[in-house]
A and B are shown apart, each in its own frame.
Chain A
Amino acid sequence: MLPKMDFDNYDTGPFYDEMFTPDGRPRDGCRLLHGKVESLPPGEIRTRQTAAEQAFYDMGITFTVYGHEEGTEKIFPFDIIPRVIEAAEWDSLERGLVQRIRALNLFIDDVYHQGRIMADGVIPRSIVESSSGYFKECQGLNPPRGVWCHITGSDLVRDETGRFMVLEDNLRCPSGVSYVLANRRILKRTFPQVFETIDIRPVDDYAPLLLDMLHAIAPPAVGRPTAALLTPGVYNSAYFEHTFLAQQAGIELVEGRDLVVADGYVHMRTTKGLKKVDVLYRRVGEDFLDPKVFRPDSLLGVPGIMEVYKAGRVAMANAPGTGVADDKVVYAYVPQMIRYYLGETPLIDNVETFLCWEDKQRRHVLENLDTMVVKAAAESGGYGMLVGPAATPEERAAFAAKIEADPRNYIAQPTINLSRAPVLVDDHFEGRHVDLRPYILYGEDIRVIPGGLTRVALKRGSLVVNSSQGGGSKDTWVLGPGQARQG
């Protein structure tokens, strides 16, 4: 006899739960979903989870597991219960993200021009110029429309009170948006009836918006621009995403070896000779972009492409040099940037951040390592970090030594008890910590895709949601304005 699937024994714990209020009632926006899940016959939800996983497998949205039997493939873990965000809450998040991106873009443009914000003493010049994403080669460049950060994926988290905060900004090559689109597709297959009854904002226009953005930033003289996505190649862990986005946007997917600089332009090698490329959505980091300017040993890039870029004959998203704002120390100054450039109060706060290069803050960090999360300034993907409360005394001591040796490279934040959402575990539901990565496009104007990628730490108690560290994902439903309170 299969157990009935309900939430009767679900424990929200001392955390903000995305689906339930502390007294165990479903939140307004979750009522329909909650009712639907509880009304399913025993075993049905597990059947649908399995079917969803099979669909990912058949679609080839998989990664290869090394060290196992050759060719073993796995899907990225996916949980079938969506995460719901209500309309009003999303609208205010969206405003906050637009504000943040506007300020970040002004900051990057400023850094590579007069550097007013540094001259005015708001951010130390030494911090900016020691950022690993800062490239002096980009000094004085003028990308079309003055836009540098065309695609951003900032990470948001909620604390125990349910307040959203920005954990970090990903301005280099944020990945994951293909999972937003794939998750939605799979969930529509899995719960078609729910989509009929709940007003969920669609995400399917991401690819057309991406294409519009790429066209908007093309060199001005070009009539009908040719856009291409530059990928490091099939061995890159995000390769599926590269093919998927190129296909959905209807643009070429190119590798460095497909491109060549000739007569002052960038061209693709085709079966009919060379064809000019006007816009590149690059998923190759600056370091590897042009062996003549950056790393000379790079085989992934295109020799001479920076020269063409500087001459304004090819556009790139994101603009080379954008990563300067990706540094976690620079991140700490974003609220100041918003005040400085826009004269506004930040609508979404940063997580409280301690900068180890400042003596007083470093001492505080070192004295409180057991309660803090320490991160390396230039790392991402959950690498190079210490989760203080989960670490052993030896690990903390080793990390303290690293901080002392290179204080510029570390920031620390109090451990946030991330909000939780129910996930299917065997035959019941358990709470797991989640974050949210919305995707923001900046071309003609700034557009935020409704929701984004909800990443979930599938290990019980874990606060690390990165896929490289055992994280999975959920579909994210942003409710439409009309039905936020239906139930």
Chain B
Amino acid sequence: MLSRVAEAIYWMSRYLERAENIARFLDVNWHLTLDTPGGRGEQWMPLVSAMGDHSLFVDRELAGNRKSVIRFLAFDPEYPNSIVNCLARARDNARTIREIIPTEMWEQTNTFYHMVREAARDCETVLNNPYQFCDEVKRRDLTISGIAGDAMSHDEAWDFFRLGRLLERADKTSRILDVKYFILLPHPTDIGSNLDYVQWGALLKAISALEAYRRRHGRIQPERIVEFLLLDHDFPRSVLCCLIKAQECLHAITGTPAGYFANPAEKRIGLLTGDLAYSGLEEIFSAGLHEFTDNLQTRMNLVDTAIYDTFFSTFPAIDAASQQ
């Protein structure tokens, strides 16, 4: 397929997944807030930090309260990763590949964008209670995912669509873990308390993981949750699961057999997946959870760069052997 088209599908998918994850971030924090006794105050800044965009927020001299953070993450026209901007960019990409993606997928993306823009226009309701909006964002993106799975041919375009989504999701799952980490650590006395369980529960719920976790591990135990979100082989939002599937997509695109690599993207994702697959909780906690996830995110960014160089750059390295 055309390099330009592959890149557009990949980014369309990444932006949609990003929007969904921001909605999940907001949702988890909203529920944490509801369960936090008043005296403690609400903590919204960790959300901004977890997105890796703390400085963008601080430079704007915005207040770190609930309304301000929700407005920033969901609706800020100047913040490139706000939900409304993610949707605008997903739609811009979708528009350039309208002939590749199923009509239903384009229409869903289009109406999704209009829905978010409408919400942005009169956002006071959402700022006061983001639950319905976040839920709607999640549902609409899941719909697009479903359309992709059931209406797209499972060919190269589909693999690029999944690749973008999986890498974005792996990144965001590692970050959502950070949110909880930031919020809870300042209060070590709470660890093991009722409140702690409630908060971990809210976090799992926000990424649709609570039921799957319960079936796997039963009791809420923070280290098991960390293991579940980073290392589980079956849960579709765990980092390892995302990376393994992303690696499969890459190999499906190139036809390289498993266990081999033919380009930098395959090499980097192979190394990363291998390292993670053979890590245990000990490695994670001895490195420090925050440092571990930070390193994970850096290495995933390198995978993204390698994908760009291998498939999308305007002048891909073309040798005689690769021509068909």
Q: Which residues of A contact B (CB under 8 A)?
A: 57-60, 70-71, 234, 239-240, 243-244, 246-247, 251-255, 257-258, 268-275
Contacts and interface: CB of A to CB of B under 8 A. Distances in A.
A240 B316 CA distance: 28
Interface stretch (B58-66, B93-101, B217-225): B93-101
Nearest to B310: A271
A234 B156 contact: no
Interface in B269-324: 311, 314-316, 318-319, 322-324
B80 to A, nearest CB: 15
Interface in B124-178: 156, 160
**Looking at chain B, what size class is its interface with the partner chain?**
35 or more
A253 B99 CA distance: 7
A224 B152 CA distance: 24
Contacts of B111: 58
12 contacts: A59-B106, A247-B100, A253-B5, A268-B2, A269-B2, A269-B3, A269-B314, A269-B316, A270-B2, A270-B3, A273-B318, A273-B322
Given A273-B316, A273-B323, A60 B2 contact: no
B258 to A, nearest CB: 19
B43 interface: no
B67 to A, nearest CB: 23
Given A269-B316, A271-B311, A272-B324, A255 B4 contact: yes
A243 B4 CA distance: 14
Nearest to A57: B114
Contacts, number: 81
Contacts of A71: 88, 117
Nearest to A259: B2
Contacts of A255: 4
Nearest to A60: B110
B153 to A, nearest CB: 11
B98 A275 contact: no
A257 B2 CA distance: 11
B2 A243 contact: no
B314 A243 contact: no
Given A258-B4, A269-B2, A273-B318, A247 B98 contact: yes
Interface in B1-47: 1-6
Contacts of B323: 273-274
B53 interface: no
Interface of B: 1-6, 77, 88, 92, 95-100, 103, 106-107, 110-111, 114, 117, 156, 160, 253-254, 311, 314-316, 318-319, 322-324
Contacts of B88: 71
A59, A60, A244 — most chain B CB neighbours (10 Å): A60
Q: 6 tightest A-B contacts by CB?
A: A247-B99, A243-B98, A246-B99, A273-B322, A60-B110, A273-B323
A255 B5 CA distance: 10
A74 B55 CA distance: 37
Given A57-B114, A271-B253, A273-B318, A244 B6 contact: no
A273 B6 CA distance: 13
B320 to A, nearest CB: 9
A271 B318 contact: no
A57 B6 CA distance: 26
A57 to B, nearest CB: 7
Contacts of B5: 252-253
A240 B88 CA distance: 17
Contacts of A273: 316, 318-319, 322-324
Contacts of B253: 271
A258 B4 CA distance: 7
B8 to A, nearest CB: 10
B110 A257 contact: no
Given A60-B106, A60-B107, A244-B99, A257 B324 contact: no
A57 B117 CA distance: 14
Contacts of A247: 98-100, 103
A58 B311 contact: no
B314 A59 contact: no
A178 B92 CA distance: 20
A251 B171 CA distance: 35
A275 B99 contact: no
A275 B3 CA distance: 11
A247 B95 CA distance: 12
A234 B324 contact: no
B318 A274 contact: yes
A244 B107 CA distance: 13
Nearest to A274: B323
A77 B246 CA distance: 44
A246, A255, A270 — most chain B CB neighbours (10 Å): A270
Contact of A271 (B1, B97, B107): B1
Contacts of B2: 252, 254, 258, 268-271
A240 B98 CA distance: 8
A271 B156 contact: yes
A137 B111 CA distance: 47
B4 A58 contact: no
Contacts of A275: 324
Contacts of A274: 318, 323
Contacts of B160: 271
A243 B99 contact: yes
A247 B96 CA distance: 11
A261 B314 CA distance: 15
A148 to B, nearest CB: 26
Given A58-B111, A269-B3, A273-B316, 9 more contacts: A60-B106, A234-B96, A243-B95, A247-B98, A252-B2, A257-B4, A271-B1, A271-B6, A272-B254
B110 A59 contact: yes
Given A60-B106, A60-B107, A272 B322 contact: yes
Contact of B107 (A58, A234, A251, A269): A58
